[in-house]
Structure 1
Amino acid sequence: MRDGPAPKSVLARGAALLRACGESEGALSLAELALRTGLPKPSAHRLIGELVRLGLVERTPEGLYRIGLALFVLGQSAPSARELRDAALPYLGDLHEETHENVHLAVPDGSDTLFLEKITGRRATPIVSRAGGRLPAHCTATGKVFLAHDPRPPHLTLPRLTPRTLVLPGQLARDLAATRARGYGVNLEEAEVGVSAVAAAVYDRGRGPRPVAAISVTGGTRRLDVDRIGARVCAAARALTRTLSA
């Protein structure tokens, strides 16, 4: 269920419905949309119908709702995200060829990490993440990179996703200090059981001292060599930083 009061303006309500559709792994029913947004069911029904007519949401034959092609095309046209993704793709591809694991490009989004791109393959460990998806920052390697270098970190509720998720502020503070000291963030089965990740910060020197993105490699805990992968991820992040700062 959605935290906080339901949005009041028509624009905010429409945006809440779009976000609910975008954050879901699958299509949602009208009841699920109303629950996730806090909107009354009649209001959700009226607004989602308008979004369908605009092509921003599509209705499946089963009567469920998901993001429409028009919104996908619109999102792909966002200049900052497109330019960052285009610049990063060669480095993400190289990392995938070296590791044969899942490679992500992520950006900070409040208390979450948002995955702009994901490169995977048949030999990579199956994981839940997807391009356009998000996870809480405190339990992801990319998110820890953002939190570790944010002088004004967002308020975090620290939900537990697995038995190894860091849910105590003191634990997280120590982990973020270790992230700064070693130069990369590590997630050890904190977002998904059996899956770990390593991430490093990407900067654009023209946009200030905080990371604009992070690159990560995610795979099965048993076969992910954190130190070795950490060195490779850091090298890729530095190369992308040089490209963005040129």
Structure 2
Amino acid sequence: MSTSRTDGLPVSVVDRMSLVLEALSTGPMTLAKVTARTGLPRSSAHRLLEQLSNAGWLARSPEQTYELGLKAYEMGQAALNQNRLLHQARPVMQGFAQRIGYTIQLGVVDRDDTVYLAKVNGRASGSTPTAVGQRVPAHLTAVGKVIMAYAAPAQPPSLRDAAGAPEDPAVARSGAVRFDKEMAQIRDHGAAFDRGEAFPGIACVGVSIGPPDHMYGNLAGLSVCAPIGALDLQKMVAPLRVVAGEIWQRCVATDLARH
């Protein structure tokens, strides 16, 4: 099946369905909103919405709005239940949040975004704006930064462009230099910091899980977050590394037991 694009729009049915499902991940929408969000022709968007609704991936309300349906929920739960890393991380994260009192998150990088897979709230963090399944530009988050830093030697250009290079070539070069410098500092210290970059007033520190060249290593990371001023980011690096190491050991032990 062709996956080329015409006028910037995906040609394959799978790509177009993915575009519609991703648009609806933000909440219910009318046909007009789906068309505006995806850029698909109205007739194509309507046909896909109806097909996905008939198959159970979407639910259609009497007011003719569409939202994710039962099949999407079932598949999402199945994906979470099959995630070995998530299984090993959850109990360790819960223990950390209860013991330390700060919110801890597990995330991965996908298409230049940090995607949060798990979050355990801590009593000392108060309300924090992230949520499981949420996407945030990776270069703004502590988890995203630490994963990008270890992937830097082989990272695709899109990750480097995610730093927000403007049109002015001179300013773009300056931004790229700062970005590369930050990535080098992260590799030197083994931790990344977000001081209100992703969300105003929220600070985070992030570390990767395991060696960066292993399947459980640079594919995922942990971060601790709290309001700026409530959390000493530097002092949190060591405890967070201990948690990451425990999750790593659990994953390795589980894999060895399978063979």
The two structures share one fold, judged by TM-score above 0.5: yes
Distance in 2 of aligned mates of 1:232 and 1:199: 11
Distance in 1 of aligned mates of 2:35 and 2:125: 36
Q: Pick from 208, 213, 220: which aligns with 2:227?
A: 220
User: For the structure 1 residues 173 and 81, does the alpha-carbon distance in structure 2 shift closer, same or farther, using more than 3 Å as the test?
Assistant: farther
Is structure 2 residue 200 aligned with structure 1 residue 193? yes
User: For the structure 1 residues 11 and 176, does the alpha-carbon distance in structure 2 shift closer, same or farther, using more than 3 Å as the test?
Assistant: same
> More displaced, 10-19 or 99-108?
99-108
User: For the structure 1 residues 64 and 124, does the alpha-carbon distance in structure 2 shift closer, same or farther, using more than 3 Å as the test?
Assistant: farther
Q: What is the letter of the counterpart of residue 20 of structure 2? A: L
Helix, strand or coil: the match of 2:56?
coil
Q: State whether residues 204 and 244 of structure 1, in contact with CA within 8 Å, keep that contact through their aligned partners in structure 2.
A: no
Q: What is the letter of the counterpart of residue 8 of structure 1? A: V
Distance in 2 of aligned mates of 1:233 and 1:128: 20
Helix, strand or coil: the match of 1:196?
strand
Q: What is the letter of the counterpart of residue 88 of structure 1? A: A
Q: Pick from 10, 23, 31: which aligns with 1:7?
A: 10
User: For the structure 1 residues 34 and 99, does the alpha-carbon distance in structure 2 shift closer, same or farther, using more than 3 Å as the test?
Assistant: farther
The count of corresponding residues between Structure 1 and Structure 2 is: 235
Identity over aligned pairs, percent: 30
Q: State whether residues 202 and 237 of structure 1, in contact with CA within 8 Å, keep that contact through their aligned partners in structure 2.
A: yes
Q: Say what the alpha-carbon RMSD is for the aligned residues.
A: 2.5
User: For the structure 1 residues 38 and 168, does the alpha-carbon distance in structure 2 shift closer, same or farther, using more than 3 Å as the test?
Assistant: same
Distance in 1 of aligned mates of 2:206 and 2:9: 35
Q: Name the counterpart of 2:22.
A: 19
TM-superposed CA distance for 1:206, in Å, is 9.1
Q: Name the counterpart of 2:32.
A: 31
Q: State whether residues 114 and 133 of structure 1, in contact with CA within 8 Å, keep that contact through their aligned partners in structure 2.
A: yes
TM-score, normalised relative to structure 2: 0.81
Q: What is the letter of the counterpart of residue 215 of structure 1? A: L
Q: What is the letter of the counterpart of residue 178 of structure 2? A: Q
Is structure 2 residue 159 aligned with structure 1 residue 158? no
User: For the structure 1 residues 44 and 224, does the alpha-carbon distance in structure 2 shift closer, same or farther, using more than 3 Å as the test?
Assistant: same
TM-superposed CA distance for 1:147, in Å, is 0.6
Q: Which runs of 5+ in 2 are unaligned?
A: 1-6, 166-173, 254-259
Q: Name the counterpart of 1:115.
A: 116
Q: What is the letter of the counterpart of residue 128 of structure 1? A: P
TM-superposed CA distance for 1:145, in Å, is 1.0
User: For the structure 1 residues 122 and 209, does the alpha-carbon distance in structure 2 shift closer, same or farther, using more than 3 Å as the test?
Assistant: closer
> More displaced, 67-76 or 84-93?
67-76
Q: Pick from 172, 184, 195: which aligns with 1:177?
A: 184
Instruction: Mark the structure with the bigger radius of gyration.
Output: 2
Distance in 2 of aligned mates of 1:129 and 1:34: 27
Distance in 2 of aligned mates of 1:123 and 1:56: 39
> More displaced, 119-128 or 189-198?
119-128
TM-superposed CA distance for 1:231, in Å, is 1.6
Distance in 2 of aligned mates of 1:157 and 1:8: 25
Helix, strand or coil: the match of 2:9?
coil
Distance in 2 of aligned mates of 1:125 and 1:28: 31
Helix, strand or coil: the match of 1:223?
coil
Distance in 1 of aligned mates of 2:132 and 2:213: 26
Q: Name the counterpart of 2:42.
A: 41
Q: What is the letter of the counterpart of residue 162 of structure 2? A: T
Helix, strand or coil: the match of 1:168?
helix
Q: Name the counterpart of 2:256.
A: none
